[in-house]
Structure 1
Amino acid sequence: MTPEEQKVFEDKLYAYVGVEVCSRKPAKDAVNETMIRHWTEVMGDTNPAYTDPEWAAQSRRGKTIAPPAMMYVWNQEGYSVASSGRASDPQTEMAEMLNDHGFTGVLGTNVKQEYVKEISPGDTVYVQMVIDNISERKVTARGPGYFFETLATFSDQNGDTIGVQRFRVLKFIPQEQPAASASDDKLQVPTRIASPRGHDNGWWWNAVDEGKVLIQRCKGCQTLRHPPRPMCGECQSMEWDSIESTLDGEIMSFTALRHPKIPGYPADPICAVIKLGEGTNIVSNIVGCDFDDIAIGMKVKGKVEQVDEKTMLPQFYPA
C-alpha cells in the first residue's frame, strides 16, 4: 500500500475501536452440574467445591459452584457454528477487511481472565463484548500486521459482573520463505518447536530425553500432579519427588490439527488428552492408526521416541 492508501485503510480499521461485537446476551443454557462434571473430568480438577454437593453443603457457600475458568464456556455457540457458520458481527467484518488487504494470517497471542464473582448451578451467564483496542502496524516474525484486543464482560441474571476476559489476536501478512537454491550445501529442514524448559519443568523434559516419563508426586500427601508445578494443589506443600509412568493410558478426548500445515510436524497430527494408569492426564500424539479408528475410552500404550533430530517425545499407540 502507498502511504495514502495505508492512511485510508487505517482510518477504517481504527474506526472499529470501541465498537460492540455483541450486546449483552444470555447463554443458551443455565449453569448446570452436567457441564461442570464434563469440564472437571477433562481438566482433571477434583475440587469438591465443583462436583460434590454433600461436601459443598457443609462449606461456607452451602452449594456447589462452577470453576471460575469455565466463565467463557457457557456462551459458546457450539456445533451450530460448524454446520451453519458464524453470524456476521463487527469483529468478523473487521477480520474480512484485513483479509481483503492481505492480512490473512491469524494468531491468538494471549488471553487474560479476571474473576469477580462465583456462580452456581441455576445461574445464567450473560456476555457483552467490544473491540477494545487495535495496535499500530507492527513488524513481527510472522509478518507485518496489527494486534487487536476484544474485551468480554460476563455477568449473571442479576446484572452482577462475574468477570472479564481480554483476548489478543494478531492479523498479519504471511511472509514467504526464500526458496532454497540448488547450490545450497545443506537445506534447513524445519523441526518441531522446541519445548520451553524452565526451573519448574526442566527436570521433566530432561527425563524425556532419557526415554522416561515422570509424574511429579507431593511428598506431603502423595498426590500425583501433571504438568509439573512448584506447589501441591491439595496440601500446598512445595516438597516433591516423582514416579515413572508405565505409559498405559485411556483416551479422554482427541482431535486432528488439519489446517494450516505446521512445518516440522506430520500432516494432520492427532492430539489427545490421555488419562494415564497412575491417574494423571497428559496431552500427547496418537500414532500408529487412522483418525477414524480412534474412540474415547480407547486403551493406548505410550513410548518415548525420537521425532526429529533434536526432539524426544512420548507418543501413544493403540494398546
Structure 2
Amino acid sequence: MEKRLKAFEGRPCAVAGVGKDPVNAPMIRHWCEAMGDTNPAYAGSDAVAPPTMLQVWTMGGLSGHTGRAEAYDELLALLDEEGCTSVVATDSEQEYLRALRPGDEVGFQAVIESVSGRKTTKLGTGYFVTTRMEVRVGDGLVGTHRFRILKYAPARRRAGAPPETALLPRPVVNRDNEGFWAGVRQGRLLIQRCTGCGTPRHPWLPGCNTCGGPDWDTVEASGEGTVYSYVVMHHPPFPAFSPPYAVALIELAEGVRIISNVVGVPYDKVRIGQPVRLEFQEYGDELVLPVFRAAGEAV
C-alpha cells in the first residue's frame, strides 16, 4: 500500500490555475475587517494585500477551477478504500516573496509533495498528505503554500461512551505562542500588547499589525467578555468530541477576540452578545484550556 501511495509524490494536483478574481480592494477590506487588522498598509491608493491572504486568491469557490488534475482525487479515493475516510487539516505553511497589490492577476500550480507512511495518532491511524502550491504573478513567483492533512480511520469509541479526553487534539506550541500557553497552564490569559503603539493583539504574533513594531509586552485579561459570533458543529464526528456543540468567537473586554467554547448552557442556548466569564478547564494531567462560562450559570 505504501508503495502505491508514494507513487503519487510529485504528481500535479493543479495545473495552470488562474485566480477567479484579480487582487482587489473589497476582498482586502473584508479580510481586514474579519481579522480586526487595522494596518494602514492595507488601505488607500498604495495598499497591498495582507500576506496571509495568499491562499484566498487561489480559491475556486463552489464552482471550482478548470485545469484541476485528477491525481489528488485518486489519492484520496485510494485512502478511502483503506478505511481512511476521515480527514483533518494539521498544518499550513506559507512563504511570501513579494507583496500582492490590487490588480495583480494570480496564477498557481500545485503538486503532491509527500505522503507519509502509516501513522497512529490520537484521532486514529492514517497517512499525512502534503501539497505544495506555487503562486505567481506573470512569470514571477510571489509565494508558496504547503498544506498538510491527515486522512485517517477514526479510533473506535464505544457507543454511548463519553468523549475521551486523551484523544483531544493538543495545541501547536511554537516560539511565537509558547508564552501564551505557559500563561494558560498558570491559569492566566495573557494578551500581547505592542510597546510602540499600545495595540493589543491575539493570537500571538511576532510583530504588530498596526505599526509593524517588533517589541511587545503582555497584559493579563480580566476574564470578562461577550459572544461576538458562534457556530454549532454537527459534523464531522471525532472520537474526542460529541456533536452538536458550539464554538464561539469571544470578544474580550481588552478589545481582542479569541475562539473557544461556551460552557454552562446547551449549545442551542448560545447567543450573540451573551456575556461570558473566563475559566480554565483541565483535561487529564497534561492539557489546560481557556473556556468561557455563560454569565450567571453556576459551576
The reply to whether TM is greater than 0.5 is yes
Mapped partners of 1:312, 1:134: distance in 2: 32
CA distance 1:264–1:303, shift in 2 (3 Å): farther
1:76 matched residue in structure 2: 59
Mapped partners of 1:229, 1:70: distance in 2: 16
How far apart are residue 11 of structure 1 and its match? 5.0
Amino acid at match of 2:292: Q
CA distance 1:88–1:270, shift in 2 (3 Å): farther
Q: What do the CA deviations read for 1:58-83 (whole angstroms, capped 9, x no partner)? A: xxxxx1111111111122233457xx
2:152 matched residue in structure 1: 172
How far apart are residue 154 of structure 1 and its match? 1.0
Residue 180 (structure 2) aligned to one of 201, 207, 227: 201
Q: Which residues of structure 2 form unaligned runs of 5+?
A: none
Task: Report % sequence identity.
Answer: 32
How far apart are residue 293 of structure 1 and its match? 7.1
1:160 matched residue in structure 2: 140
CA distance 1:172–1:50, shift in 2 (3 Å): same
How far apart are residue 138 of structure 1 and its match? 2.9
Q: What do the CA deviations read for 1:245-291 (whole angstroms, capped 9, x no partner)? A: 3523352x533332233345452222233333432121122453655
Q: What do the CA deviations read for 1:123-149 (whole angstroms, capped 9, x no partner)? A: 2222211222333x3332355533332
**Residues 12 and 69 in structure 2, CA contact (< 8 A), matched pair in contact too:** no
How far apart are residue 93 of structure 1 and its match? 1.8
SS at match of 1:72: helix
- Count of matched residue pairs: 281
Mapped partners of 1:175, 1:39: distance in 2: 37
How far apart are residue 120 of structure 1 and its match? 1.0
Asked if 1:249 corresponds to 2:226, the answer is yes
TM-align CA RMSD: 3.5
Residue 274 (structure 2) aligned to one of 300, 305, 308: 300
SS at match of 1:129: strand
Asked if 1:26 corresponds to 2:18, the answer is yes
SS at match of 2:164: coil
SS at match of 1:13: helix
**Residues 149 and 167 in structure 1, CA contact (< 8 A), matched pair in contact too:** yes
Residue 215 (structure 1) aligned to one of 188, 191, 202: 191
Q: What do the CA deviations read for 1:16-75 (whole angstroms, capped 9, x no partner)? A: 23222121121222211111111112222221111244xxxxxxxxx1111111111122
How far apart are residue 193 of structure 1 and its match? 4.9
Q: Which has the larger radius of gyration?
A: 1
Mapped partners of 1:284, 1:188: distance in 2: 20
